[in-house]
Amino acid sequence: MANVLIVDDEIECQFLLQVIFQRAGHTTQLAGDAATSLATISQSPPDVIVLDDMLPDFSGSEVCRRLKGSPITRHIPVLLYSAGCNVRNRSHLAAIGADAALGKPSTPRELVQTVDRLLSRIPSL
Protein backbone atom coordinates (compact mmCIF):
# COMPACT_ATOMS: atom_id res chain seq x y z
CA MET A 1 0.00 0.00 0.00
CA ALA A 2 1.37 3.38 -1.03
CA ASN A 3 0.48 6.98 -0.27
CA VAL A 4 -0.76 8.78 -3.40
CA LEU A 5 -0.94 12.57 -3.48
CA ILE A 6 -3.70 13.69 -5.86
CA VAL A 7 -3.30 17.28 -7.07
CA ASP A 8 -6.29 18.61 -8.99
CA ASP A 9 -8.36 21.77 -8.68
CA GLU A 10 -11.60 19.99 -9.64
CA ILE A 11 -13.24 18.50 -6.54
CA GLU A 12 -15.07 15.88 -8.62
CA CYS A 13 -11.81 14.69 -10.17
CA GLN A 14 -10.14 14.57 -6.74
CA PHE A 15 -12.97 12.44 -5.40
CA LEU A 16 -12.98 10.08 -8.38
CA LEU A 17 -9.21 9.58 -8.23
CA GLN A 18 -9.37 9.11 -4.47
CA VAL A 19 -11.96 6.33 -4.85
CA ILE A 20 -9.94 4.66 -7.64
CA PHE A 21 -6.71 4.59 -5.67
CA GLN A 22 -8.29 3.66 -2.34
CA ARG A 23 -10.09 0.74 -4.00
CA ALA A 24 -6.69 -0.33 -5.34
CA GLY A 25 -5.41 -0.43 -1.74
CA HIS A 26 -3.58 2.89 -1.56
CA THR A 27 -3.98 5.75 0.89
CA THR A 28 -4.50 9.22 -0.55
CA GLN A 29 -3.83 12.86 0.20
CA LEU A 30 -5.53 15.70 -1.69
CA ALA A 31 -4.41 19.13 -2.84
CA GLY A 32 -6.38 21.59 -4.95
CA ASP A 33 -3.58 23.85 -6.11
CA ALA A 34 0.16 23.93 -6.64
CA ALA A 35 1.08 25.79 -3.45
CA THR A 36 -0.91 23.37 -1.27
CA SER A 37 0.67 20.41 -3.03
CA LEU A 38 4.19 21.70 -2.35
CA ALA A 39 3.33 22.33 1.32
CA THR A 40 1.83 18.85 1.63
CA ILE A 41 4.88 17.26 0.03
CA SER A 42 7.26 19.06 2.41
CA GLN A 43 5.22 18.06 5.49
CA SER A 44 4.30 14.50 4.50
CA PRO A 45 6.07 13.26 1.36
CA PRO A 46 3.92 10.88 -0.66
CA ASP A 47 5.15 7.76 -2.43
CA VAL A 48 3.79 8.97 -5.79
CA ILE A 49 2.06 12.10 -7.13
CA VAL A 50 -0.83 12.26 -9.61
CA LEU A 51 -0.59 15.83 -10.85
CA ASP A 52 -2.96 17.86 -13.01
CA ASP A 53 -1.13 20.31 -15.25
CA MET A 54 -3.81 23.00 -15.23
CA LEU A 55 -3.93 24.40 -11.71
CA PRO A 56 -5.21 27.81 -10.60
CA ASP A 57 -2.01 29.25 -9.12
CA PHE A 58 0.74 27.79 -11.31
CA SER A 59 1.04 24.78 -13.54
CA GLY A 60 1.58 21.19 -12.58
CA SER A 61 4.51 21.26 -14.98
CA GLU A 62 6.15 23.89 -12.78
CA VAL A 63 5.42 21.81 -9.67
CA CYS A 64 7.05 18.81 -11.34
CA ARG A 65 10.06 20.87 -12.44
CA ARG A 66 10.56 22.11 -8.86
CA LEU A 67 10.22 18.64 -7.37
CA LYS A 68 12.62 17.05 -9.84
CA GLY A 69 15.08 19.90 -9.33
CA SER A 70 15.36 19.27 -5.60
CA PRO A 71 17.56 16.51 -4.16
CA ILE A 72 14.98 16.07 -1.39
CA THR A 73 12.01 15.32 -3.69
CA ARG A 74 13.47 14.23 -7.04
CA HIS A 75 12.96 10.55 -6.17
CA ILE A 76 9.15 10.90 -5.88
CA PRO A 77 7.50 9.59 -9.06
CA VAL A 78 5.19 12.07 -10.79
CA LEU A 79 2.33 11.14 -13.11
CA LEU A 80 1.21 14.18 -15.08
CA TYR A 81 -2.55 13.62 -15.55
CA SER A 82 -4.27 16.32 -17.58
CA ALA A 83 -6.61 17.19 -20.41
CA GLY A 84 -3.99 19.64 -21.68
CA CYS A 85 -1.69 19.00 -24.61
CA ASN A 86 1.49 18.77 -22.49
CA VAL A 87 0.80 15.13 -21.65
CA ARG A 88 1.40 14.26 -25.32
CA ASN A 89 4.55 16.35 -25.72
CA ARG A 90 7.51 14.04 -25.02
CA SER A 91 10.09 16.82 -25.06
CA HIS A 92 8.06 18.82 -22.52
CA LEU A 93 7.69 15.77 -20.26
CA ALA A 94 11.42 15.13 -20.43
CA ALA A 95 12.19 18.79 -19.69
CA ILE A 96 10.06 18.84 -16.52
CA GLY A 97 11.14 15.36 -15.41
CA ALA A 98 7.71 13.72 -15.36
CA ASP A 99 7.95 9.98 -14.84
CA ALA A 100 4.73 9.24 -16.76
CA ALA A 101 1.79 11.03 -18.36
CA LEU A 102 -1.83 10.19 -19.07
CA GLY A 103 -4.53 12.24 -20.71
CA LYS A 104 -7.88 12.91 -19.09
CA PRO A 105 -9.98 10.91 -19.09
CA SER A 106 -8.20 7.61 -18.56
CA THR A 107 -9.69 4.40 -17.31
CA PRO A 108 -9.30 3.45 -13.67
CA ARG A 109 -7.26 0.46 -14.82
CA GLU A 110 -4.81 2.69 -16.77
CA LEU A 111 -4.41 4.97 -13.78
CA VAL A 112 -3.78 2.20 -11.27
CA GLN A 113 -1.46 0.29 -13.60
CA THR A 114 0.58 3.41 -14.32
CA VAL A 115 0.90 4.32 -10.64
CA ASP A 116 1.73 0.74 -9.69
CA ARG A 117 4.40 0.63 -12.42
CA LEU A 118 5.94 3.83 -11.03
CA LEU A 119 5.83 2.44 -7.51
CA SER A 120 7.48 -0.80 -8.60
CA ARG A 121 10.60 1.20 -9.51
CA ILE A 122 11.04 2.33 -5.89
CA PRO A 123 13.28 -0.17 -4.07
CA SER A 124 11.80 0.38 -0.59
CA LEU A 125 8.18 -0.28 -1.61
Residue 77 preceded by cis peptide, ω within 30: no
Question: Looking at residue 4, what is its pLDDT?
Answer: 98
Q: Supply the DSSP symbol for 87.
A: G
The mean pLDDT of 54-61, rounded to a whole number, is 94
For 65-94, write each residue's pLDDT tens digit: 999 999 999 999 999 998 877 777 889 899
Domain ranges of the chain: 3-106
| Model pLDDT, residue 76 | 97
List the alpha helices (DSSP H) in 24-107. 34-43, 60-68, 90-96
Domain 3-106, CATH homologous superfamily name and number: Response regulator (3.40.50.2300)
Report percent pLDDT > 90 for the chain. Answer: 86
Q: Give the model's pLDDT for residue 119.
A: 95
Reported as a single tens digit per residue, the pLDDT across 3-51 is: 999 999 999 999 999 999 999 999 999 999 999 999 999 999 999 999 9
Q: How does pLDDT run across 91-109, given as a tens digit for each residue?
A: 989 999 999 999 999 999 9
pLDDT at 125 over 70: no
